[in-house]
Amino acid sequence: MTRPKLRIATTSLAGCFGCHMSFLDIDEHLFELVELVEFDRSPLTDIKHCGPCDIGLIEGGVCNAENVHVLREFRNNCKTLIAVGACAINGGLPAQRNHLELGACLREVYEFRDGLSGGQVPNDPELPLLLDKVHPIHEVVRVDYFIPGCPPSGPTIWKFLSDLIAGRTPRLTHSLMHFD
Partner 1 sequence: MTRRFMFDGQPVAFEDGQTIMEAARAAGHFIPYLCWHPDFPPHGSCKLCIVKVGGRHVSSCALPAKEGMEVESNTPEINAERRALLQMLFVEGNHFCPSCEKSGNCQLQALAYELEMTSARFNHIFPDRPVDASHPDMLLEFNRCIFCELCVRASRDVDKKSVFSLTNRGIHKHLVVSAESGRLGDTDFSRDDLAANICPVGVILRKRVGFAVPIGQRIYDEKPISQVSMEAEK
Pairing of strands 130-135, 62-64: antiparallel
Question: Using the rule CB under 8 A, is 178 a contact of partner 1?
Answer: yes
The four Cα atoms 156, 142, 132, 108 give a dihedral, to 10 degrees, of 10
Question: Using the rule CB under 8 A, is 145 a contact of partner 1?
Answer: yes
Closer to partner 1 by CB, 41 or 67: give it: 67
Q: How many residues bind partner 1 (CB under 8 A)?
A: 29
Alpha-carbon separation of residue 104 from 2, 25, 43, 135, 150 (angstroms): 57, 38, 32, 19, 28
Closer to partner 1 by CB, 39 or 133: give it: 133
Q: Is 176 helix (H, G, I), strand (E, B) or coil?
A: helix
Q: In which element (H, E) is residue 106 found?
A: helix 102-110
Give the nearest distance from C-beta 136 to partner 1 in angstroms: 6
Nearest-angstrom CA–CA distance, 2 and 165: 14
Among positions 72-111, residues that touch partner 1 (CB under 8 A) are 83, 86, 89-93, 95-96, 98-99
Question: Using the rule CB under 8 A, is 177 a contact of partner 1?
Answer: yes
Q: Residues interacting with partner 1, by CB under 8 A?
A: 83, 86, 89-93, 95-96, 98-99, 133, 135-136, 138-139, 143, 145-148, 150, 171-172, 174, 177-180
